[in-house]
Structure 1
Amino acid sequence: MGWINNGGGFSVRQASEDIEACILPVSSSEFQESKWVPSKVNGFAWRALIDRIPCKTVLLNRGIVNDARCPRCMATEESLTHLLVKCDVKTKVWDGICS
């Protein structure tokens, strides 16, 4: 793990790659090499993978909000899984978009 480049200076890129290798379960290059996916989608997927989407349960744990219920369905806590997959309101929206 060397962060000094050939010129003797600090390499931000190398430091970033080393840190990502320690915290990501898959290689970050798999995300960076996905050129067929728009960069915003790629970034969102990467943030979801490392659990960095600010859903209500995360915001509650950080003391930012007082209520973790999903603001769309109000049925359950808004976890990342609920936000992306399980919310009934979300399902109706996607059905409308895809039809």
Structure 2
Amino acid sequence: RSPLAPPKTPNMAGALQDWLNHAVCIITNDGRNIVGNLRGYDQTTNLILENCHERIFAPDEGVEEVPLGLYIIRGDNVAVIGELDEAMSQALDLSAIRAQPLKPLVH
């Protein structure tokens, strides 16, 4: 690398490539929490998830998991995406977790 070359910065495509075929957790702009295995993506961050479910949080009862199966999320609706630690996720007692649902993202 040339000493004058700008430093390489991480980008979303590089992170998504590393997470292919791994469990990920996505927070959407409308406040949904979706967990599944990342099977594909494109340059606009459209995501394809397999074995997917939505986690619905409520202040007065445990987390409800709604199965979604194979699911596509438009890239312009992705607020946050991260790799999910499957062992830690499976160890959670979701029925004991109480939380306010996330509010939609406001630009």
Please identify which structure carries the higher strand content.
2
Q: Which has the higher contact order (CA 8 A, sep 6+)?
A: 2
Select the structure of larger CA radius of gyration. 1
TM-score normalised by the shorter chain: which range applies?
A: under 0.3
TM-score (norm: length of structure 1): 0.27
Please identify which structure carries the higher helix content.
1
